[in-house]
Structure 1
Amino acid sequence: MSPLHICCNILEGLKSLIYSPAFLAQFHEKHHFIRKRKLTISQVILFLLYTSKASMNLNLSNIRDDLKELHFPELTKQALSKARLKLKPLLFKTLFLHSVETFYASSPSRKKWNGYHVFAIDGSCIQVPKTKDNISYFGLCRNQYHSREDSMACISILYDVMEDIVVDGVLHPYHYAERRSAMEHLSCLESVGLKDKTVVLFDRGYPSYEFYRHFDTENYFYVMRIQSAVKSLTQLFSKDEITQYCPSYIEDGKTVRVRVIHVELDDGTDECFVTNIMDPAMTPAMFKELYFRRWKIESKYNELKNQLQLEEFSGAVPTNVEQDFFIHLLFMNLCALLKSEADEKIRQEKKKRNYEYQANRAYIIGRLKKHLACLLSGGETIPVILAQFVKEAVKKRSQIQPNRTSKRPRIQLRHRHCKNRKTTM
């Protein structure tokens, strides 16, 4: 089944869920949305899927103009804010997971790398509105001089590198451990049936003896970059060696079998990886290529924070933050499917070109964002509109620049997101 058809199936499924009283009854607070009121629970959901980074008053006016078939009532922003607080964030996580389950159920033949399904796990920090509720729930981050403090949250995603799909996402307080989030992701992999022949890629913040043992116990494959400070692993005699590892603080002395690989980057830097893939057919050069694919999850965070502007939250309390987080993950998966369809059509064009091209993801994000709520409310025909999006995206292509590098600045000042300074465009 093509990515376009899968995307249509996901939207049709979301549409049926959003208008299903039996489904929605699980996700609202008790004694709310049970009587006939001016604002229905489905209208609240569609508003949250529609809303832009503009002010709520502007969004309330725009949704009545753009989605006339929704019959959205005239009401104050305070009334809408109060209504959305009665919706549990689990509702939007369930809608996001519906996109994941539908994708894998509709994709019997998945892309592989040398016979492996490749996933990446990584975490990041996001700035949330600095309110009393958020500070209490998520915590504060202070700079080294204690002259500046922001309310921050910790997020982590599980990403299918080969399929460009976010499989799972979690949102926790700022000081939550990355490894604990990774454990939650691994449980999600097993629950959706993606455990078989899977290798998970990690950056250097994750390696630990306990982590190695857990992976061996659960029969997962992993590749982790480790810091040079772990001399018992990084200073072995060979560039590709299998060893028994046990740090000194382990009382029972039980070792874990790991493979340590050194590769040289293009700038001459030595990088060290730890893995439990013992197959001698897998050479250090192959591991270098495999780990390089982990960079896609960094690009996904760039999409989440900069193109979708996750940190410009539509509300100022933890419930609002969680709702927006899962809505953005759902949106990323829908955009990825449309881009995959457009990229395939670009590759099928029989034209001689000097460069390779791909669909412009930012263009797809903008088009889908404008029409998503209308598609789910029944105002537009889903297959027709999505096919039109793909046709437009093929024309609005971008050139792929090979071997592109960019120096990462070491000092980055975090932008403050002010809830009283919203865009008007």
Structure 2
Amino acid sequence: MFSYFKSAIDNIVKPASFFVIDEKRFTRDSKFSFKDYVTFFCVNKGTSNQADLEDFIEDDFTNNLETITRQALSKQRVFINPLVFKEISKEYLRLIGYNRNNHFFKEYKGFRLYGGDGSDFEIPDFEEVRRDFGIKDTPKYRKPAMAKFSSIMDLLNGFILDGIIGNYKQAELPLMHQNLDNIQDLIIPEKSIFIFDRGYNAMELYTHIMSINSYFIVRLKDKSYIDERYTIKENDSEIKIKLTKDRIKKFHNPSLKEEYEKEEHLNLRILTIELDNGKTETLLTNIFNKEFQIKDFKELYNLRWGIETNYNTMKNRLNIENYSGKKRITIKQDIYSKFLKYNVFQHYENYFNLLINRTQRQKGKLGLFKVNQAHLIRKLKKYLPIMILNPTPEIIRTYTKNLIISCTKSPNKSTKKQTTKRNPKKQRKFNLNYRPT
């Protein structure tokens, strides 16, 4: 498994000039090359630049690396295109066979499930950063230093297929269209279902997904397409959504706009799902296969919650909001390199979970077991730099064996969370601090 990570780095950084912003940089021979800089950000431990540099040099047992200062690192890194880390991540997924039919990766009735969503990331609160991300204060209010992160994740296997960092107030839909364009070589379109929440009610998004022969499920707002929904009497029915001039006018993609200007409506499927608390939610989809019943759509939409747990792992386990620079380009480098690390971690986690449960079944133990996330991340941060910098068969064999033994000997047993019925307090009819005069 380690070889995929090293090969992904080697394959992408070979044409180094493609990811160097200034063609005059990284030209002369140096013991700390462009590849070394990129590798450093791929495997650093996320403490401080100085501490990470010292660890990186110490992890090189061959002593081939030249010691550099954090000032030199800060000076050179601004000439590294952050997209190099996204390309390494995509190459890693290709090398592990993710873009092909592969039984190692989980599916739902033969489909891969993807969740699209955005999250607000805290960024360093410096004037230069605020200016770069378009954060403008008002006379009475200083806005928080935040950026928008839009991504598409595999809900069953945990991988981030694509992520884009944008300005805090940037609209999520244009970013999601970019996400979709960026993942075409990683998915099997006709076996892909994209699941969205209420923030993605948009005709152009539906048509974009349909144009690549994929499927979508989106939760509707209460007032979305209210005229068309008025005539629907069943919980599972076809619906024709009119392609009015006002709706077509909102399209930004010229080819999609031209194509659907000729159409009168979109023929879709609408479902009303009853939740456990008695409330209902409405889903819109282009999946007409009757093998997918209402209970399936309820389960599928609930799986979208996986994207929230993935964001939690990135923020609280991998510390994706811990930055090592104060410029837009360095913030992008930190975020994109960490979601690369997240994909590597996720692949190891999936593999170890499979290995652990197979071992537990042989022992006659029932239930679902999982590797300890925090322990696995800690060990990967320790072992991966050593294996990357010293790729000898003996070192790789030794550290891989240590990693497997360490991460599989004490797994966590997954237990179903108990749901407690809430007893909401009655709303007071008066202010508790009110004093009659």
* TM-score tier after normalising by the smaller chain length: 0.7 to 0.9
Give the structure 1 partner of residue 218 of structure 2.
224
CA displacement 1:78-104 (0-9 Å, x = unmatched) = 221001112111222221111122123
Give the structure 2 partner of residue 101 of structure 1.
94
For 1:395, the aligned partner's letter is K
**Larger gyration radius, structure 1 or structure 2:** 2
Kindly state the Cα deviation for residue 68 of structure 1 after the two structures are TM-superposed: 4.2
Taking a change above 3 Å as real, the CA distance of residues 351 and 178 of structure 1, as seen in their structure-2 partners, is: same
* Contact 1:17/1:24, CA 8 A, preserved across alignment: no
* Contact 1:228/1:234, CA 8 A, preserved across alignment: no
Which range moved further: 103-112 or 54-63? 103-112
Say whether residues 1:63 and 2:59 are aligned partners: no
Say whether residues 1:132 and 2:127 are aligned partners: yes
Which of residues 338, 349, 352 in structure 2 aligns to 1:342?
Answer: 352
Which of residues 233, 239, 251 in structure 1 aligns to 2:235?
Answer: 239
Taking a change above 3 Å as real, the CA distance of residues 115 and 36 of structure 1, as seen in their structure-2 partners, is: closer
Say whether residues 1:13 and 2:23 are aligned partners: no
The separation in 2 between residues aligned to 1:119 and 1:85, in whole angstroms, is 33
Give the structure 2 partner of residue 361 of structure 1.
373
* Contact 1:139/1:151, CA 8 A, preserved across alignment: no
CA displacement 1:300-328 (0-9 Å, x = unmatched) = 11111111111111111111111111211
Kindly state the Cα deviation for residue 126 of structure 1 after the two structures are TM-superposed: 0.6
For 2:144, the aligned partner's letter is D
Kindly state the Cα deviation for residue 15 of structure 1 after the two structures are TM-superposed: 5.1
Give the structure 2 partner of residue 373 of structure 1.
385
Which range moved further: 307-316 or 154-163? 154-163
Give the structure 1 partner of residue 17 of structure 2.
25
For 2:80, the aligned partner's letter is L
Say whether residues 1:281 and 2:291 are aligned partners: yes
* Contact 2:219/2:284, CA 8 A, preserved across alignment: yes
For 2:269, the aligned partner's letter is R
Which of residues 144, 164, 172 in structure 2 aligns to 1:170?
Answer: 164
* Contact 1:263/1:272, CA 8 A, preserved across alignment: yes
Which of residues 112, 115, 135 in structure 1 aligns to 2:110?
Answer: 115
For 1:312, the aligned partner's letter is N
- Where structure 1 has 5 or more consecutive residues not aligned to the other structure, the ranges are 1-6, 408-425
Which of residues 195, 198, 205 in structure 2 aligns to 1:201?
Answer: 195
Taking a change above 3 Å as real, the CA distance of residues 61 and 115 of structure 1, as seen in their structure-2 partners, is: closer
Which of residues 397, 401, 404 in structure 2 aligns to 1:390?
Answer: 404
- Where structure 2 has 5 or more consecutive residues not aligned to the other structure, the ranges are 249-260, 422-437
SS of the residue corresponding to residue 149 of structure 1 reads coil
Which range moved further: 92-101 or 239-248? 239-248
> What is the TM-score of this pair, normalised by structure 2?
0.83
Higher relative contact order (CA 8 A, sep 6+): 1
* Contact 2:60/2:386, CA 8 A, preserved across alignment: yes
Say whether residues 1:34 and 2:48 are aligned partners: no
* Contact 2:99/2:186, CA 8 A, preserved across alignment: no
The separation in 1 between residues aligned to 2:282 and 2:227, in whole angstroms, is 12
Give the number of aligned pairs.
399
RMSD of Structure 2 on Structure 1 (CA): 2.8
Say whether residues 1:255 and 2:251 are aligned partners: no
* Contact 2:111/2:192, CA 8 A, preserved across alignment: yes
SS of the residue corresponding to residue 311 of structure 1 reads coil
The separation in 1 between residues aligned to 2:132 and 2:370, in whole angstroms, is 41
> What is the TM-score of this pair, normalised by structure 1?
0.85
Kindly state the Cα deviation for residue 405 of structure 1 after the two structures are TM-superposed: 5.6
Give the structure 1 partner of residue 431 of structure 2.
none
Give the structure 1 partner of residue 174 of structure 2.
180
CA displacement 1:238-257 (0-9 Å, x = unmatched) = 21121111276347782211
* Contact 2:122/2:146, CA 8 A, preserved across alignment: yes
Kindly state the Cα deviation for residue 142 of structure 1 after the two structures are TM-superposed: 6.4
Kindly state the Cα deviation for residue 130 of structure 1 after the two structures are TM-superposed: 2.1
For 2:202, the aligned partner's letter is S
SS of the residue corresponding to residue 198 of structure 2 reads coil
* Contact 1:27/1:91, CA 8 A, preserved across alignment: yes
Taking a change above 3 Å as real, the CA distance of residues 329 and 243 of structure 1, as seen in their structure-2 partners, is: same
Which of residues 62, 83, 87 in structure 2 aligns to 1:90?
Answer: 83
SS of the residue corresponding to residue 283 of structure 2 reads strand
Which range moved further: 185-194 or 257-266? 185-194
SS of the residue corresponding to residue 324 of structure 1 reads helix
Taking a change above 3 Å as real, the CA distance of residues 59 and 282 of structure 1, as seen in their structure-2 partners, is: closer
Kindly state the Cα deviation for residue 36 of structure 1 after the two structures are TM-superposed: 3.1
CA displacement 1:48-86 (0-9 Å, x = unmatched) = 234333232333333333434354444432221001112
* Contact 1:360/1:397, CA 8 A, preserved across alignment: yes
The separation in 2 between residues aligned to 1:250 and 1:61, in whole angstroms, is 57
The separation in 2 between residues aligned to 1:119 and 1:394, in whole angstroms, is 28
SS of the residue corresponding to residue 185 of structure 1 reads helix
Instruction: State, as a whole percentage, how many aligned pairs show the same letter.
Output: 24
Give the structure 2 partner of residue 417 of structure 1.
none
* Contact 1:161/1:294, CA 8 A, preserved across alignment: yes
The separation in 1 between residues aligned to 2:158 and 2:235, in whole angstroms, is 32
SS of the residue corresponding to residue 113 of structure 2 reads strand
The separation in 2 between residues aligned to 1:107 and 1:75, in whole angstroms, is 41
SS of the residue corresponding to residue 109 of structure 1 reads coil
Kindly state the Cα deviation for residue 176 of structure 1 after the two structures are TM-superposed: 2.3
SS of the residue corresponding to residue 374 of structure 2 reads helix
For 1:281, the aligned partner's letter is E
The separation in 1 between residues aligned to 2:98 and 2:294, in whole angstroms, is 34
CA displacement 1:179-226 (0-9 Å, x = unmatched) = 222222222332335212211111110012232333333322100111
Which range moved further: 341-350 or 306-315? 341-350
Taking a change above 3 Å as real, the CA distance of residues 116 and 58 of structure 1, as seen in their structure-2 partners, is: closer
* Contact 2:228/2:240, CA 8 A, preserved across alignment: no
* Contact 1:50/1:370, CA 8 A, preserved across alignment: no
The separation in 2 between residues aligned to 1:315 and 1:406, in whole angstroms, is 44
Give the structure 2 partner of residue 299 of structure 1.
309
Taking a change above 3 Å as real, the CA distance of residues 232 and 67 of structure 1, as seen in their structure-2 partners, is: farther
